[in-house]
Structure 1
Amino acid sequence: MSVEVLAAGPLTTVQDAGRRGLRHLGIGRSGALDHWALRVGNLLVGNREDAPALEITLHGPTLRFHAPARIALCGADTGARLDGARVPGWRPCDVPAGSTLRIGACRDGARALLALAGGIDVPAALGSASTDLRGGFGGLDGRALRRGDRLAVGRCDAVANGSAAVAPWWIDPQADADPRAAIRLLPGADAADGLCAARWRVAAASNRQGLRLEGAALAPDAQHARISQPVLPGTVQLPPDGRPIVLLADAQTHGGYPVVGHVATAELSRLARLRPGDALRFAWCSVDEARALACVQRQRLARIAMAIEARLRADRASRRVQAAPSVSRDRP
């Protein structure tokens, strides 16, 4: 089946869980910024957790479905509508052939993920379908979606060929932490005084490579000569202007700015949800605390996966019963 892009939105890209094990070659991870929304969305439509999906930034696309599909919108509320009917988030929805899905502006976050049963079918590049915008490869020709594009979707036998249907059950969108809580991070080699004491705001110049923060300028504790060193998503750098940059999924592999901290991996999805102008603050944590956060997040995802699978099994059984021919008790 295929999905036609009638309007693309400012930045809609194909993303999966990203590329692993290639940073020593200068190749970044890419992948969905909000890995929690990616994983839950894929589970809701019966995919593997890391299947390719559409990452939507600030405002979504308008899509026409040329075959029946099952979708799930996770992340920010976009006010999406399917042929005029509201499409709620964090639950599966069956889409009839010929339908038009309009995904609007992200209202309570910066990004949303649209998962489709079967996944977006694009060639893998270096082991991933993710779009690397800086490198210009992966996804759909290494770029964001454009009007007129057609996206192939993998085969999924579970998709119904009937009218639109939204599942009566849903997943709690409050993913893994209080959005008002401080972002936990580990101290870097050049930990700066005041990083955790200050309040910061996300600058408009932020992108998939990193969140630029606005606030009172900081200075690193150490003032030795700088050499380039490895960095990764979650690294907090301090450029000469004293305003931190938190690297995200499209981060470079090396950098020469002082490293003042590293955001705990379990907190990266929270960073992905921040919009320009949003406030945030940091709190130091230990390696053991960061590992505990990741463990709690994995456990919660496992519980959600089991609950979704039970619901999907029940839905499939109900569909089989409804589709079975009735047997008359009056036959001789």
Structure 2
Amino acid sequence: MKILTTNGMASIQDLGRFGYRSMGVGRSGAMDHWALQAGNALLKNERDEPAIELAMGELTIQFEEDVSFCLTGALYEAYLDNKRIPSYWRINAKAGQTLKLLRPIEGMYAYLCMHGGFDIASILQSGSTNLKAGFGGFNGRYLQADDRLKVKVPSHLPIIGVTPLAPTNTIRVIKSSEYDCFTASAQTAFVSQSWQLQTSSNRMGYRLAGELSLELTEPKEMSSHGVDMGMIQVPPQGQPIVLMADGQTTGGYPKIATVIDADIGLMAQIRFGKTCQFTLVDSEQAYRARQNQQHYIDQIQEYGYEH
């Protein structure tokens, strides 16, 4: 398949690169890993099969072989030739047809998954693009016009669709290691007020702004330590940063909370200028929420194999 045009940030991502953080290599991978898994499950793929992740903007592709594909994550206005196609449906395209993704109607990150996946080399056990270091994916960079991606196998699957998870701006978190270092009023403000996503946010971190800053009970000097996706750091100005897929491997800011795994994708889909609100849960609730998400993917995969 050939990339005809793109003005969005489109890259190849899978579930991420694990086991190398001690060497300073971050996870990369999909911002909404649940949406990626849903697409792969619908197409009978392995759940970590690399796909195209598109953040906002347009993308136009011409297929050069018959393929089965689907769109998940952000709900896009999309057309196969001149026919509108929905997200979370398995669609067949013939060689020569053109797929155009115009704009996200809802959400931030969309995933274009292909049955059989793309012929992408695995580097450090992942096909994800590490944009900062410039390796993995397609030449370690965002996709550009005239790039060609090879689909592993031609395919034609029965057309089916599934119901996407309902979006929400309520994000569940668990207390992190420095939660008790914040004042009682800061702890209250963290969950009681709305936080607006700033346009300076990116795949490294989501910067949030709220009316009330989060203050520590006393100044705290911290050595750099390991951090990961979902952790919520609070710099001295008191406005939190949620670490995302391309987040650094170490940090030294106090961490007030961590987004639970089940809600990482919901966090990723919040759009610039929109708000979210945090709610505290315990580890048992976080575990059950993850089980529910996993059950949702399992159901999609079972449904996909029946058709």
TM-score (norm 1): 0.87
Larger radius of gyration: 1
Partner of 1:110: 108
Matches within 5 A, 1:282-297: 282-297=278-293
SS in 2 for 1:72: strand
Partner of 2:89: 91
Matched AA of 2:67: A
Offset at residue 60 of structure 1 (A): 3.2
Offset at residue 87 of structure 1 (A): 1.3
SS in 2 for 1:76: strand
Of 226, 236, 240, the match for 2:236: 240
Partner of 1:306: 302
SS in 2 for 1:249: coil
Of 153, 170, 174, the match for 1:186: 174
Partner of 1:195: 190
Partner of 2:221: 225
SS in 1 for 2:191: coil
Offset at residue 134 of structure 1 (A): 1.3
Of 8, 12, 27, the match for 1:10: 8
SS in 2 for 1:80: strand
Counterpart CA distance in 1 for 2:226 and 2:218 is: 18
SS in 2 for 1:94: strand
Offset at residue 111 of structure 1 (A): 1.2
1:162-186 Cα distance to aligned partner (Å, 9 max, x none): xxx982x3111125xx514x21111
SS in 1 for 2:133: coil
Offset at residue 189 of structure 1 (A): 2.4
| Structure 2: 5+ residue stretches without partners | none
Matches within 5 A, 1:253-332: 253-311=249-307
Q: How much is the aligned-residue C-alpha RMSD, in angstroms?
A: 1.5
Counterpart CA distance in 1 for 2:218 and 2:191 is: 17
Contact 1:12-1:60 within 8 A present in 2 as well: no
Tell me, yes or no, if structure 1 residue 208 matches structure 2 residue 197. no
Query: Structure 1 227/281 Cα, relative in aligned 2: closer, same or farther at 3 Å?
Result: same
Partner of 2:123: 125
Contact 2:131-2:141 within 8 A present in 1 as well: yes
Matched AA of 1:126: L
Matched AA of 2:238: G
Matched AA of 2:252: G
SS in 2 for 1:78: strand
Contact 1:7-1:147 within 8 A present in 2 as well: yes
Offset at residue 290 of structure 1 (A): 1.1
Counterpart CA distance in 2 for 1:62 and 1:79 is: 12
Contact 2:224-2:252 within 8 A present in 1 as well: yes
Contact 1:45-1:72 within 8 A present in 2 as well: yes
SS in 2 for 1:49: coil
1:233-264 Cα distance to aligned partner (Å, 9 max, x none): 00000112211000011111100111111111
SS in 1 for 2:237: coil
- Identity, % of aligned positions: 34
Offset at residue 222 of structure 1 (A): 4.8
Moved >3 Å (runs of 4+): none
Counterpart CA distance in 2 for 1:111 and 1:50 is: 17
Counterpart CA distance in 2 for 1:264 and 1:18 is: 17
Matched AA of 1:30: S
Partner of 2:28: 30
Contact 1:63-1:102 within 8 A present in 2 as well: yes
Contact 1:59-1:78 within 8 A present in 2 as well: no
Counterpart CA distance in 1 for 2:217 and 2:223 is: 16
Tell me, yes or no, if structure 1 residue 171 matches structure 2 residue 169. no
Counterpart CA distance in 2 for 1:222 and 1:305 is: 50
1:54-73 Cα distance to aligned partner (Å, 9 max, x none): 00101231001111111101
Matches within 5 A, 1:48-59: 48-59=46-57
Of 41, 44, 51, the match for 1:43: 41
Query: Structure 1 9/44 Cα, relative in aligned 2: closer, same or farther at 3 Å?
Result: farther
Counterpart CA distance in 1 for 2:299 and 2:66 is: 29
Number of residue pairs the alignment of both structures matches: 299
Query: Structure 1 82/25 Cα, relative in aligned 2: closer, same or farther at 3 Å?
Result: same
- After TM superposition, the structure 1 stretch with the greater mean CA deviation from structure 2, 196-205 or 183-192, is 183-192
Counterpart CA distance in 1 for 2:218 and 2:172 is: 22
Structure 1 or 2: larger strand share?
2
Contact 1:190-1:222 within 8 A present in 2 as well: no
